[in-house]
């Protein structure tokens, strides 16, 4: 089968690999769509484990099954990370801290023609797509689930002012989710196309990130890795406010300790999503509460994945780039 093997952001090679063989309890999925995630573009992070097949926002059709739970022909979204539900983290509701979740994956990755889904992922991370949810929309379940979890962690809600810094795909999802939670949302970016999309995503106000804002936000959600944005966040956060590290820079963040202490600020992070988040995200998409169709701006074939990485990395008029094998 054909796979796209990542060596670095500018070196993704189409290579032939043997099609995996499934075991008892497993399924084989023919990949129909797989999204390029912002984390896939974080070369400093990804290159540590290169060469490897990336792609974790995957939807497809079951073509082989040795599971009593799923059958051939079903359309599914499959989560690459699933928790054990037995460790102290899972039992406390902190599933994304579970070691099993961090170590697990499917074989080899969504940027391939076929994926073998291990039994634990079959049991806890495979979801049948409703008839009104396309494969491409299915690739958005995991990104939206990450947003669902992050906003639950920081308690986004009615009456709050939420500043979303960075209006790429994760920023737009956070904007739409915060508006659904009845918060006032202010969005920033340096890209005029993304600012336009932020406004169309119900943001109450949008600003170019080069402007100095007159704002005190209850919650700030960082959806950019740009250091100037992190420095500005400490100027914009209100007392008792929370800064959510949804995205991270490639170096440590200097913290203004006195302000941090006197104003009782908090910085938290959110990594990934748990089954409860994935189920909620799928429901939001199925019920039309969060529209994800208009965020899918580009589609590329597996053979053209290098072009897809370039488009996503340049971030001109692109939001979500989906690989369609």
Give the pLDDT confidence of 27-61 residue by residue, as tens digits: 999 999 999 999 999 998 999 999 999 999 999 99
Note the pLDDT of residue 64: 98
Smallest Cα–Cα separation from 29: which of 104, 141, 112, 132? 112
Distances (CA, A) of 157 to 122, 144, 154, 185: 34, 17, 9, 11
How confident is residue 325, by pLDDT bands cut at 50, 70 and 90?
Answer: confident
Note the pLDDT of residue 34: 98
Instruction: Identify whether the C-beta of residue 220 lies closer than 8 Å to the C-beta of residue 243.
Output: yes
The DSSP string of 71-91 is -TT-EEEEES----S-SHHHH
Query: Which secondary-structure segment (H or E) carries 225?
Result: none
pLDDT tens by residue, 76-89? 999 999 999 999 99
Any residues with CB less than 8 A from the CB of 313 and at least 6 apart, and which? 9, 41
List phi, psi (to 5°) of 196.
-60, -45
How confident is residue 315, by pLDDT bands cut at 50, 70 and 90?
Answer: confident
List phi, psi (to 5°) of 319.
-120, -85
Q: Is 289 helix (H, G, I), strand (E, B) or coil?
A: coil
Spell out the domain ranges in the chain: 2-140+292-323, 147-269
pLDDT tens by residue, 105-126? 999 999 999 999 999 999 999 9
List phi, psi (to 5°) of 118.
-60, 160
Mean pLDDT taken over the chain = 96
Note the pLDDT of residue 223: 97
Token couple for 261: 């202490």
Note the pLDDT of residue 150: 98
Which range, of 21-25, 42-46, 97-101, 201-205, averages the lowest pLDDT? 42-46
List phi, psi (to 5°) of 232.
-70, -30
Note the pLDDT of residue 299: 97
CA angle, residues 70, 282, 246, in degrees to nearest 5: 125
Number of DSSP helices (H) and strands (E) in the chain, helices first: 12, 16
CATH number of the domain at 147-269, out of 3.30.70.330, 3.40.50.720, 3.40.710.10, 3.40.50.920? 3.40.50.720
Q: Which CATH superfamily is domain 2-140+292-323 in?
A: Medium-chain alcohol dehydrogenases, catalytic domain (3.90.180.10)
């Amino acid at each position: 089968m054909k796979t796209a093997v990542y060596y670095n952001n500018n070196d993704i090679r189409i290579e032939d690999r043997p099609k995996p063989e499934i075991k008892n309890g497993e399924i084989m999925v023919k990949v129909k769509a797989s999204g390029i995630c912002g984390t896939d573009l974080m070369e400093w992070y990804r290159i540590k484990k290169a060469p490897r097949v990336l792609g974790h926002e995957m939807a497809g059709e079951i073509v082989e099954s040795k599971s009593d739970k799923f059958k051939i022909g079903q359309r599914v979204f499959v989560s690459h990370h699933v928790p054990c539900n037995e460790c102290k983290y899972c039992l406390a509701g902190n599933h994304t801290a579970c070691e099993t979740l961090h170590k697990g994956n499917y074989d080899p990755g969504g940027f391939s023609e076929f994926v073998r889904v291990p039994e634990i992922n079959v049991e806890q991370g495979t979801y049948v797509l409703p008839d009104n949810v396309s494969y491409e929309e299915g690739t958005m379940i995991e990104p939206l689930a990450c947003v669902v979890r992050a906003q639950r962690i920081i308690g986004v809600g009615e009456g709050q002012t939420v500043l979303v810094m960075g209006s790429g795909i994760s920023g737009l999802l956070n904007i739409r989710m915060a508006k659904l939670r009845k918060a006032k949302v202010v969005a920033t970016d340096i890209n005029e196309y993304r600012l336009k999309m932020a406004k169309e995503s119900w943001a109450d106000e949008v600003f170019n990130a080069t402007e100095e804002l007159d704002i005190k936000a209850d919650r700030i959600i960082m959806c950019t890795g740009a250091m100037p944005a992190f420095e500005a966040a400490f100027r914009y956060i209100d007392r008792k406010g929370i800064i959510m590290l949804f995205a991270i820079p490639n170096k440590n963040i200097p913290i203004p300790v006195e302000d941090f202490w006197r104003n009782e600020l908090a910085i938290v992070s959110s990594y990934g999503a748990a089954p409860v988040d994935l189920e909620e995200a799928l429901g939001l998409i199925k019920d039309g509460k969060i529209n994800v169709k208009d965020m899918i701006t580009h589609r590329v074939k597996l053979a053209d994945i290098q072009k897809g990485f370039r488009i996503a990395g340049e971030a001109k008029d692109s939001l979500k780039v989906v690989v369609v094998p």
